[in-house]
C-alpha cells in the first residue's frame, strides 16, 4: 500500500472514529469534514459519489452528525429498549393462547441416600418428593447446595455471588408453607442459580464485565420473580462471559466440570457448569447466538432455548433486543419443562412477549409426532457423527417415523450477523464512547470492544435491509417447518444455529455421548414456533431410553470419592 493510501486511510479512521466512537462534538467535526473526506468515506461504505452529489449531501451530513451528537449527549438508560420490536411470527402464523397447568408426577417412596452428598445429582422430581414427605427441609437442601457452591465455586470459577441471606429466608418460608399443606408446584423449595445478567435487588449484577463490577440494580428480573412465585430458592448468581460472550469474565475463566483445563464455553458458562457439577439442580441461562446450546454441550447438560417472545427479558442485560432469549438449563428435558412452565408467559413489562399457551404432557405418544431430520448434516464428517446417527436409530426404535428434510436456505444468512453487531453496539454505546471498553478483559480482534467500534460503520440502511432479508428467512423457515413438530439436527453442523436464533425458533440441546477424547457431545431438537412442548416430549422419551443425561463428571461425583 502506497503512502497516499495510508494517509487517506488514516484520515478516514481518525475523523470517523472521533465522530462516531469517542463522541467528538458535532460543532468541531463540521470544521474538519471536507468534500474529499466525505467522498472517500463513501468509498469505505461501498459507494461512489460525484463532486456535485457530495456537495449537495454536506448540509444533511452535518445535520445527521448534530442529531447523533444530541442523542449521545442526551443519555439513554441501558434498560430502555428501542421502539421497534421484533416479531417472530411469519405471515398467517397463528398462536394458541390456551394455557393449562401440567399435573407433574412427583414420585413417591424416594429415600435419602446413604451418602448424603448424592442428593447433589437428584432430579427435581426426586428432590420435590423428599421435600413433600418431610425427609428433608428446604432450608437443609439450601444449606447443602450453598455448601457445594462454596466448596467447588472457586474450582470452576462459576460463582459471581451467593445470595445466601435471601435464600435462607425464602427456604424457611417454603418450609412453613409446605408444613401448612401449601405446595406451589414441583419447584417449591428447590434451590437454583441464575446467570449474572439478571438483576436481583440487593445483590451485585456485574454482567461478567469489569466496568460493571460492583453494580447494584434496585429491581429484580421478571424470571426471578416468577421463580419466587413458584417457590424456588435462588442460591447464587452464576458467571457469564463478559457482556454475554465466551467464558472469560472479570474474575477468570469458567471451567468445564469434565475437564478443568478447558473453559465451559459461553456465555451461560456458570449456569451450565454449576448444573453439570451438581452445585444446583437447575439454572437460568440466556442465548443470543449459541449461549445456551454451546455451554450445555460442553458441560454435558440439557438446555432449552425458547421461542423468541416466550420468556420476559425484563431485568436482564440487553445485548440484542431482537435476538435475546432466556431459558432453563438442567439435567433432563422433563426438568427443563418444569422450569419453563414457571418462567414463561407475559408480565406487562417486556413488549416483545407474545401471549401463547403452554402445556407439557409427559405421556405424549411420540409416535404421533411428525419428526424430520436434516439428512445432509448427518453426512458431514464432524465430531460426534456416530453418536448423532445413533440418536436417529434410537428414535426409530422408539417408534418414531423419521423424514428426510433438505437444509437449503436461500438467504445470505451470515450477512445478517450485522443485526446482532449493530444492536449490541447500541446497547453498549456509553461503554464505547466513554472509553471504558478498555476495561474489559478481552481486547483482541474477536472481542466486544472491537465489535462495538466496527459496528459504528454499519449503515442504518443496511441494518434495515438486513431485517427485511430476515423476514424472508422467517418465511423460509415457516415453509421448512410446516410439516413437522420437531426436526433433529447436529448441534453445530451447517448454519442452523444462526438461522434459528434469527428466526426465533425454539431448540432443546441434549447430551448424546462423548468424543474419543472424553468430551461431552450433544444433539439438538428444533421445534416450530411456540412448539416447546413437542421437542421436550420427544427429548424426554429419548433420554429415558438412552440415559446419557444421567452421566456425572467424575471430579464432582460423590460416588467417585
Residue range 96-132, pLDDT digits in tens: 877 788 999 999 999 999 999 999 999 999 999 999 9
- The band of 62, judged by pLDDT with boundaries at 50, 70 and 90, is confident
Q: Which residues does 410 contact at the CB level (< 8 Å), separation at least 6?
A: 476
**Cα Dmax for the chain:** 85
Cell numbers describing residue 369:
409426532
Which residues lie below 8 Å from residue 212, measured CB to CB, with a gap of 6+?
205, 206
pLDDT average, residue stretch 313-329 = 98
Q: In whole angstroms, how far apart are CA 322 and each of 88, 318, 353? A: 9, 10, 11
- Does the annotation count 291 as an active-site position? yes
Average of pLDDT values for 157-173? Answer: 98
Three-state secondary structure string covering 303-325: EEECCCCCECCCCECCCCCCCCE
- 87, three cell numbers: 416479531
Give the Cα separation of 340 and 334 in Å (integer).
10
Give the three-class secondary structure for 190: coil
HSE of 296 in the Cβ direction (CA atoms, 13 Å)? Answer: 35
pLDDT tens digits, residue range 77-96?
A: 888 889 889 999 999 998 98
Distance CA 101, CA 361 (A): 10
Cis ω on the peptide bond leading into residue 109 (within 30° of 0)? no
Helix or strand holding residue 424 (H, E): helix 417-427
Spelled out in words, what is the top-level CATH class assigned to the domain 116-353+362-411+465-556?
A: alpha beta
Give the residue-averaged pLDDT of 309-328.
98
CB 537 within 8 A of CB 361: yes
What is the bridge-based pairing of β-strands 302-305 and 507-514?
Answer: antiparallel
What pLDDT score was predicted for residue 12?
Answer: 44
Parallel, antiparallel, or unpaired: how do β-strands 252-253 and 248-249 relate?
antiparallel
For the segment 462-519, what is each residue's pLDDT rounded down to a tens digit?
999 999 999 999 999 999 999 999 999 999 999 999 999 999 999 999 999 999 999 9
Q: Which of the residues 138, 206, 264, 267 is marked catalytic?
A: 267
Short-list 378, 371, 399, CA closest to 496: 378
pLDDT of 97: 78
Asked whether 273 and 247 are in contact (CB, 8 A), the reply is no
CA distance 72 to 59: 20
Residue 432, pLDDT > 70, answer yes
- pLDDT band for position 10 (50/70/90)? very low
Q: 3-class SS at 106?
A: coil
Question: Helices (H) and strands (E) in the chain — how many of each?
Answer: 18, 15
Please identify which of the residues 206, 291, 322, 522 carries the catalytic annotation: 291
Region of residue 530 (phi > 0: left; psi between -120 and 50: alpha; otherwise: beta): left
* Residue 57: predicted pLDDT: 86
Cell numbers found for residue 243: 457482556
Per-residue confidence (pLDDT) for residue 98, from 0 to 100: 75
Residue with cell 437428584: 122
- All structural domains of the chain with their residue ranges: 116-353+362-411+465-556
Which cell numbers hold the place of 506? 425454539
Measured CA to CA, the distance from residue 415 to residue 421 in angstroms comes to: 11
Distance, in Å, from the CA atom of 196 to the CA atom of 162, rounded to the nearest integer, reads 11
Determine the pLDDT at residue 56.
85
How many other C-beta atoms can be found within 10 angstroms of the C-beta atom of residue 400?
21
Closest C-alpha among 111, 538, 135, 89 to residue 336: 538
* Pure H helices in 446-558: 448-455, 460-481, 496-503, 532-546
pLDDT at 19: 45
Rounded CA-CA distance 284/217 in Å is 19
CB-based contacts of 280, cutoff 8 Å, min separation 6: 145, 149, 191, 192, 193, 235, 236, 238, 274
Nearest to 561 by CA among 256, 118, 113, 111: 118
Q: Is the pLDDT of residue 15 over 60?
A: no
* Proportion of the chain above pLDDT 70, given as a percent: 94
Using the predicted structure, report yes or no on whether residue 383 has a pLDDT greater than 50. yes
Instruction: Name which residue leads in pLDDT, 206 or 20.
Output: 206
Average pLDDT value over all residues in the chain: 92
The rounded distance, in Å, linking the Cα atoms of 346 and 415 is: 32
Classify strands 371-374 and 402-405 as parallel, antiparallel or unpaired: parallel
> For the chain, how are helix, strand and coil distributed in percent, rounded to 5?
45, 15, 40
Looking at 123, 129, 138, 195, which residue is catalytic? Answer: 195
Q: How confident is residue 31, by pLDDT bands cut at 50, 70 and 90? A: low
> What was the pLDDT predicted at 3?
43
Residue 41's pLDDT is what?
83
3-state SS class at 137: coil
Q: Where are the beta strands (DSSP E) in 331-442?
A: 371-374, 402-405
Quick one: how far is CA 414 from the chain centroid?
Answer: 19
**Cα distance between residue 267 and residue 296, in whole Å:** 10
Is the per-residue pLDDT at 431 higher than 80? yes
Amino acid at each position: 500500500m502506497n503512502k497516499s493510501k495510508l494517509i487517506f486511510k488514516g484520515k478516514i479512521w481518525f475523523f470517523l472514529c472521533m465522530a462516531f466512537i469517542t463522541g467528538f462534538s458535532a460543532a468541531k467535526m463540521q470544521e474538519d469534514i471536507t468534500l474529499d473526506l466525505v467522498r472517500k468515506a463513501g468509498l469505505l461504505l461501498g459507494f461512489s459519489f460525484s463532486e456535485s452529489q457530495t456537495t449537495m449531501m454536506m448540509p444533511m451530513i452535518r445535520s445527521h452528525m448534530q442529531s447523533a451528537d444530541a442523542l449521545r449527549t442526551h443519555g439513554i438508560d441501558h434498560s430502555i429498549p428501542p421502539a421497534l420490536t421484533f416479531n417472530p411470527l411469519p405471515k398467517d402464523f397463528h398462536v394458541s393462547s390456551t394455557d393449562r397447568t401440567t399435573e407433574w408426577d412427583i414420585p413417591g417412596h424416594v429415600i435419602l441416600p446413604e451418602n448424603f452428598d448424592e442428593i447433589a445429582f437428584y432430579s427435581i422430581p426426586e428432590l420435590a418428593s423428599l421435600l413433600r414427605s418431610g425427609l428433608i427441609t428446604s432450608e437443609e437442601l439450601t444449606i447443602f447446595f450453598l455448601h457445594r457452591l462454596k466448596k467447588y465455586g472457586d474450582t470452576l470459577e462459576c460463582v459471581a455471588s451467593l445470595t445466601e441471606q435471601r435464600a435462607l429466608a425464602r427456604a424457611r418460608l417454603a418450609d412453613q408453607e409446605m408444613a401448612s399443606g401449601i405446595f406451589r408446584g414441583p419447584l417449591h423449595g428447590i434451590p437454583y442459580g441464575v446467570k449474572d445478567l439478571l438483576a436481583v435487588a440487593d445483590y451485585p449484577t456485574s454482567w461478567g464485565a469489569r466496568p460493571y463490577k460492583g453494580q447494584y440494580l434496585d429491581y429484580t428480573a421478571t424470571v426471578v420473580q416468577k421463580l419466587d412465585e413458584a417457590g424456588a430458592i435462588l442460591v447464587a448468581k452464576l458467571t457469564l462471559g463478559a457482556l454475554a460472550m465466551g467464558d472469560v469474565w472479570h474474575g477468570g475463566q469458567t471451567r468445564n466440570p469434565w475437564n478443568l483445563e478447558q473453559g465451559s464455553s459461553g456465555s451461560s458458562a456458570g449456569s451450565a457448569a454449576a448444573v453439570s457439577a451438581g452445585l444446583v439442580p437447575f439454572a437460568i441461562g440466556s442465548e443470543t447466538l449459541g449461549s445456551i446450546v454451546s455451554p450445555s454441550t460442553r458441560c454435558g447438560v440439557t438446555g432449552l432455548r425458547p421461542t423468541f417472545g416466550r420468556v420476559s427479558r425484563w431485568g436482564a442485560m440487553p445485548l440484542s433486543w431482537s435476538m435475546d432469549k432466556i431459558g432453563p438449563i438442567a439435567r433432563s428435558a422433563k426438568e427443563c419443562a418444569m422450569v419453563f412452565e414457571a418462567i414463561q408467559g407475559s408480565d406487562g413489562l417486556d413488549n416483545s412477549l407474545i401471549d401463547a399457551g403452554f402445556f407439557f404432557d409427559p405421556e405424549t405418544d411420540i409416535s404421533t409426532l411428525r419428526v424430520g431430520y436434516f439428512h445432509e448434516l448427518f453426512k458431514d464428517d464432524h465430531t460426534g457423527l456416530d453418536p448423532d446417527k445413533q440418536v436417529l436409530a434410537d428414535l426409530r426404535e422408539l417408534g418414531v417415523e423419521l423424514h428426510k428434510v433438505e437444509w437449503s436456505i436461500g438467504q445470505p444468512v451470515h450477512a445478517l450477523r450485522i443485526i446482532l453487531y449493530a444492536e449490541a453496539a447500541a446497547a453498549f454505546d456509553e461503554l464505547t464512547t466513554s472509553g471504558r471498553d478498555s476495561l474489559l478483559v478481552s481486547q483482541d480482534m474477536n472481542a466486544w470492544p472491537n465489535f462495538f467500534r466496527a459496528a459504528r460503520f454499519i449503515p442504518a440502511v443496511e441494518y434495515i435491509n438486513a431485517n427485511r432479508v430476515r423476514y424472508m428467512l422467517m418465511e423460509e423457515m415457516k415453509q421448512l417447518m410446516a410439516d413437522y413438530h420437531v426436526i433433529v439436527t447436529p448441534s453445530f453442523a451447517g448454519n442452523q444455529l444462526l438461522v434459528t436464533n434469527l428466526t426465533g425458533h425454539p431448540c432443546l440441546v441434549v447430551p448424546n455421548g462423548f468424543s474419543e477424547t472424553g468430551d461431552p457431545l450433544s444433539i439438538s431438537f428444533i421445534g416450530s414456533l411456540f412448539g416447546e412442548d413437542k421437542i421436550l416430549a420427544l427429548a424426554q422419551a429419548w433420554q429415558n431410553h438412552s440415559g446419557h443425561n444421567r452421566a456425572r463428571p467424575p471430579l464432582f461425583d460423590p460416588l467417585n470419592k
